[in-house]
C-alpha cells in the first residue's frame, strides 16, 4: 500500500513534491550537502537567509550545545543578495527541489527591495520572510507586532508574484494575532516556529557562552513549543502551515502533520545527522498508510481533542 501513497503537498500556490524540507541556516546553500544527501529527493530547500548587503554576523562564539538543543547567535552572516544571485542560485536551481529563498531586512523597505530583486530571478519557487530572527537588531520585531508583520507582508505581496511564507517567532505572548495578520496581508503560508530566545552561561568563568550573550534555541527542546504554535495557528488561519522545531524522526513529522502542519522543515538535526531527511522520506509512506491515508493532506489537522470515554461510561462493556 505504501507505493500508492501520494506525497505531494500544496502550500497555497507553492507545489512541493513531498512535505520534507530543510530549514534555512542549517543546510548552507545545499552544495555543502551534495555528497551525503540525495538533494533531488527533498520536498524543498530553504537556503541560508540573505540580506540586501553583506553581513559579517555576530561576534564569536556563535553556537553552544545545550541539553536537548543548541543555541546559536550567527547574526545572519551572509554575502548579500547579489552574490547569492551570481554564485549560489545558479547551483541551487540545478539540484531539483523547489528553492524557497529566505530573506531578511532591517525594515519593510529592505524586504520589499529583496522581493522585487528576487521576483525577476529564474528558479526561485517562493520567498520565506525571516520576520523573526532573534539574533539581529530589529529582526524579531516584525513578528511580535501584528501591525508590523502586516506591513512587511503587504509590501512584499505588492512587490512580487512569488508565493510568500511568513516565518514567525514563538517569543511572543500570543502568536495567533500575528499569524492572522500575516494571513490577512496575503501570505500563502506560515513557517512555525523560528528559534526560542535563550542563554547559556559558564559560571566558573562568569561569562556567557555566546559572544552575543543571547541566542536562538533550537533542537528537540523546542518541539513541544513548536507543536503548540502549529496547533494554535492552524485553528485560527486558513492558510497552510510548515512546521519547524525539533524535528528529527518520522514520529516527529507525523505529530506535526496531525496537529495541523501541511509540511515540515528539518533544521538542527541536519548538523548532527545530515542524512536524517532521507530516512524520514523512506519512512513517510508507511507512516501515512498506518493511518489509512493515501495522501499527506488526509492526515493534516486530524488530531482528536475530545475526551476519550472511560470504560464505565455508557454502561458496562461486553
pLDDT for the residue numbered 311: 58
- Grid coordinates belonging to 137: 537588531
**For the chain, which domains are there?**
2-59+73-200+219-299 (3.20.20.70)
pLDDT for the residue numbered 33: 95
Q: Does 138 have pLDDT greater than 60?
A: no
pLDDT for the residue numbered 134: 73
pLDDT for the residue numbered 314: 53
Least confident span in 125-134, 157-166, 266-275: 125-134
pLDDT for the residue numbered 308: 78
pLDDT for the residue numbered 192: 98
pLDDT class for 160, splitting at 50, 70, 90?
Answer: very high
Q: What's the mean per-residue pLDDT of the chain? A: 94
Q: Does 312 have pLDDT greater than 70?
A: no
SS3 of the chain: the string is CHHHCECCEEECCEEECCCEEECCCCCCCCHHHCCCCCHHHCCEECCCCECCCCECCCCCCCEEEECCEEEECCCCCECCHHHHHHHHHHHHHHHCCCEEEEECCCCHHHHHHHHHHHHCCCCEEEEEEECCCCCCCCCHHHHCCHHHHHHHHHHHHHHCCCCEEEECCCCCCCCHHHHHHHHHHCCCEEEECCCEEEECEECCCCEECCCCCEEEEECHHHHHHHHHHHHHHHCCCCCCEEEECCCCCHHHHHHHHHHCCCEEEECCHHHHCCCHHHHHHHHHHHHHHHCCCCEHHHHCCCCCCCCCCCCCCCCCCC
pLDDT class for 107, splitting at 50, 70, 90?
Answer: very high
pLDDT class for 92, splitting at 50, 70, 90?
Answer: very high
Q: Is the peptide bond before 12 cis (omega within 30 degrees of 0)?
A: no
Dihedral sign from CA coordinates of 291, 292, 294, 298: negative
Q: Does 44 have pLDDT greater than 70?
A: yes
pLDDT class for 309, splitting at 50, 70, 90?
Answer: confident
Give the mean pLDDT of 34-50.
Answer: 97
pLDDT for the residue numbered 1: 40
Q: Does 140 have pLDDT greater than 70?
A: no
Give the active site residues: 133
Dump pLDDT digits (tens) for 74-84.
999 999 999 99
Stated pTM of the model: 0.94
Q: Does 317 have pLDDT greater than 50?
A: no
Q: Does 69 have pLDDT greater than 70?
A: yes
pLDDT for the residue numbered 316: 45
Amino acid at each position: 500500500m505504501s507505493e500508492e501513497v501520494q506525497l505531494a503537498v500544496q502550500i497555497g500556490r507553492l507545489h512541493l513534491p513531498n512535505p520534507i524540507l530543510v530549514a534555512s541556516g542549517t543546510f548552507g546553500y545545499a552544495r555543502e550537502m551534495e555528497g551525503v544527501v540525495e538533494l533531488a529527493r527533498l520536498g524543498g530547500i530553504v537556503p541560508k537567509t540573505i540580506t540586501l548587503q553583506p553581513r559579517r554576523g555576530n561576534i564569536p562564539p556563535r553556537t553552544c550545545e545545550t541539553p536537548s538543543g543548541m543555541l546559536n547567535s550567527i547574526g545572519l552572516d551572509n554575502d548579500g543578495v547579489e552574490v547569492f544571485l551570481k554564485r549560489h542560485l545558479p547551483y541551487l536551481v540545478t539540484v531539483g527541489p523547489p528553492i524557497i529563498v529566505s530573506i531578511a531586512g532591517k525594515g519593510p523597505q529592505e524586504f520589499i527591495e529583496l522581493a522585487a530583486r528576487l521576483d525577476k530571478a529564474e528558479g526561485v519557487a517562493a520567498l520565506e520572510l525571516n520576520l523573526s530572527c532573534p539574533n539581529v537588531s530589529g529582526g524579531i520585531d516584525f513578528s511580535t507586532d501584528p501591525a508590523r508583520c502586516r506591513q512587511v507582508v503587504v509590501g512584499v505581496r505588492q512587490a512580487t508574484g512569488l508565493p510568500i511564507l511568513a516565518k514567525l517567532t514563538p517569543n511572543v505572548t500570543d502568536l495567533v494575532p500575528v499569524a492572522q495578520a500575516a494571513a490577512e496581508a496575503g501570505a500563502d503560508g506560515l513557517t512555525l516556529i523560528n528559534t526560542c530566545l535563550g542563554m547559556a552561561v559558564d559560571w566558573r568563568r562568569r561569562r556567557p557562552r555566546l559572544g552575543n550573550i543571547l541566542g536562538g534555541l533550537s533542537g528537540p527542546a523546542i518541539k513541544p513549543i513548536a507543536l503548540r504554535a502549529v496547533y494554535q495557528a492552524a485553528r485560527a488561519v486558513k492558510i497552510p502551515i510548515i512546521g519547524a522545531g525539533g524535528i528529527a524522526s518520522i514520529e516527529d513529522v507525523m505529530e506535526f502533520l496531525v496537529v495541523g502542519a501541511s509540511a515540515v522543515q528539518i533544521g538542527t538535526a541536519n548538523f548532527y545527522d545530515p542524512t536524517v531527511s532521507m530516512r524520514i522520506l523512506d519512512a513517510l509512506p508507511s507512516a501515512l498508510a498506518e493511518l489509512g491515508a493515501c495522501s499527506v493532506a488526509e492526515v493534516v489537522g486530524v488530531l482528536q481533542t475530545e475526551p476519550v470515554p472511560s470504560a464505565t461510561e455508557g454502561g458496562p462493556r461486553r
